[in-house]
Amino acid sequence: MTDYTPTPADKFTFGLWTVGQTGRDPFGEATRPGFSAPHIVRKLAELGAYGVDFHDNDLIPLGASAAQRDQIVRDFRAALDDTGLVVPMATTNLFTDPAFKDGAFTSADARVRAYALQKTMYAMDLGAEFGAQTYVFWGGREGTEVDGGGKLLDALAWFRDSLNFLAQYSQDQGYNYRFALEPKPNEPRGDIFLPTVGSALGFIATLEQPELFGVNPEFAHETMAGLSFPHAIAQAIDAGKLFHIDLNDQKMGRFDQDLRFGAENLKAAFFTVKLLEDSGYAGPRHFDAHALRTEDAEGVWAFARGCMRTYLILKDKVAQWSEDAEIRAALEAYRVQDAELEALSRTYSSTNAQALKNRAFDRVALGQRGLGLEHLDQLTAELLLGVRGKASTAAPRQMVTTA
Ligand code: GLT
Ligand code: MN
Ligand code: MN
């Protein structure tokens, strides 16, 4: 992997809607033509991707006839078979159609909620037809601008009922999907329900079959909320709930930019890759991003190549970081160990509690210790900037002093 060329073993995936995005935004028309689904499949395979994901209507346009559907499915299947690309994840478009203007599963209109269930069941059928194992719920329209409708508590209950219903449908059909809730704080709604990874994790615990549900955190979405993406995915990993991931980039406090992975926050991207690699996350590395509106078709593929290449470069940097002797020494100095105290504190017993209460701590000395994080962070920055050559990791160095 020295030239950072991806292979399917790297498990990189893209949504049809990502590289297929035409540059349209709320203020301007498309700046480039889209690509057909089979073209996307062939092109992604050529670039070394592993798979492709879709919303029902990325593949089958709303209102397509049965004959059109069959033709589309045949062409898509042929491209997958030719290339070996897989479909690990599928999802439903519950946001474009005006029917969903006030939400899908959380609409105040019972008819819309029922239609959303129907649409999702058909979309789950379609995903399963292509072997998808993860099903994503991004509740883009599940929210409000004004709360005068008084549905906040009802909406959560309706949302829960729908997810419970669909989990049973999945099992009934033998699909056995793992469901991944994707949080986002706002856009397109003023406030979206379950706005952050933490909110989604809390909600999952209230479902009938919580073990079937996890999260699909997106870098841009946590960043929009002013939160740290590495912190969010660490919590998801800790809870055993990182079922899928949407990698991209974002400036804090802006509209959802869906920038190329690593385009903006390289250090957070680095720690994201480190968490995924170190934790043994085995799922797809999915890029939910799109090329800048300034780009033509060539720019789109440069964007896709860039996402994967940056991931692989950062993966290499993660390995380098873990082996770097000076970084290891700084880490060792930072993380003070004390076997006796850890034995006393990790598990409760009345003896341990009493021993801790009797213990004298040098509070002032604890407060005076310098932690060396400036040094450690600078080493990390220099490693990312490429001035810590591999040679510097080979020869162990003196343990650093932070004075
Ligand atoms: C939409 C959204 C993404 C979601 C997709 C899945 S659709 O593009 O902005 O974050 O992951 O529904
Ligand atoms: Mn996004
Ligand atoms: Mn996303």
- The ligand with the least distance to the CA atom of 217 is 3
Question: Locate tokens 């209460």: which residue?
Answer: 357
DSSP state, residue 42: H
User: Which fold, 8-321?
Assistant: TIM Barrel (3.20.20)
Task: Output the 3-class SS for 291-354.
Answer: CCCCCCHHHHHHHHHHHHHHHHHHHHHHHHHHHCHHHHHHHHHHCCCCHHHHHHHHCCCHHHHH
Q: What is the number of the ligand 1 atom nearest to the C-alpha of 184? A: 10
Q: What is the number of the ligand 1 atom nearest to the C-alpha of 182? A: 11
- The ligand with the least distance to the CA atom of 54 is 1
DSSP state, residue 259: B
pLDDT of residue 202 exceeding 60: yes
- Condensed to tens digits (0 to 9), the pLDDT of residues 2-60 reads 699 999 999 999 999 999 999 999 999 999 999 999 999 999 999 999 999 999 999 99
pLDDT at res. 392: 53
d(CA 301, CA 24): 17
pLDDT of residue 394 exceeding 70: no
Given a contact cutoff of 8 angstroms between Cβ atoms, the answer to whether 258 and 285 are in contact is no
- Condensed to tens digits (0 to 9), the pLDDT of residues 55-113 reads 999 999 999 999 999 999 999 999 999 999 999 999 999 999 999 999 999 999 999 99
pLDDT, averaged across the chain: 96
SS3 content of the chain, % helix, strand, coil (to 5): 50, 10, 40
Question: Token pair for residue 104?
Answer: 């899908």
The verdict on whether residue 256 carries a ligand-binding annotation is yes
- Condensed to tens digits (0 to 9), the pLDDT of residues 245-273 reads 999 999 999 999 999 999 999 999 999 99
Q: What is the number of the ligand 1 atom nearest to the C-alpha of 18? A: 8
Radius of gyration of the chain (CA): 24
The verdict on whether residue 249 carries a ligand-binding annotation is no
**What amino acid occupies position 182?**
E
Among 188, 246, 252, 189, residue whose Cα is nearest residue 215: 246
Q: Is 286 a catalytic residue?
A: no
Q: Is 102 a catalytic residue?
A: no
pLDDT of residue 393 exceeding 70: no
The verdict on whether residue 46 carries a ligand-binding annotation is no
Ligand 1, CB cutoff 6 Å, lining residues: 17, 55, 91, 136, 138, 182, 218, 246, 256, 288
pLDDT at res. 389: 76
> pLDDT tier at 400 (50, 70, 90 boundaries)?
very low
Mean pLDDT over 310-332 rounds to 98
Mean pLDDT over 352-378 rounds to 98
- Condensed to tens digits (0 to 9), the pLDDT of residues 125-166 reads 999 999 999 999 999 999 999 999 999 999 999 999 999 999
Per DSSP, the chain holds a count of helices (H) and strands (E) of 17, 10
Among 347, 346, 341, 333, residue whose Cα is nearest residue 362: 341
pLDDT of residue 390 exceeding 90: no
Question: Token pair for residue 225?
Answer: 């909320």
The verdict on whether residue 154 carries a ligand-binding annotation is no
Q: Which of 52, 181, 182, 248 to mutate to test the pocket of ligand 1 (most atoms within 8 A of CB)?
A: 182
Alpha helices in 106-250 (DSSP H): 110-129, 152-172, 197-204, 219-224, 229-238
What's the 4 CA to ligand 1 centre distance in angstroms? Answer: 27
What's the 277 CA to ligand 1 centre distance in angstroms? Answer: 24
Domain boundaries along the sequence of the chain: 8-321, 324-384
Rounded to two decimals, the pTM is 0.95
Phi (first) and psi of residue 248, to 5 degrees: -170, -155
Q: Which of 95, 124, 138 to mutate to test the pocket of ligand 1 (most atoms within 8 A of CB)?
A: 138
pLDDT at res. 354: 98
Beta bridge partners, 213, equal: 179
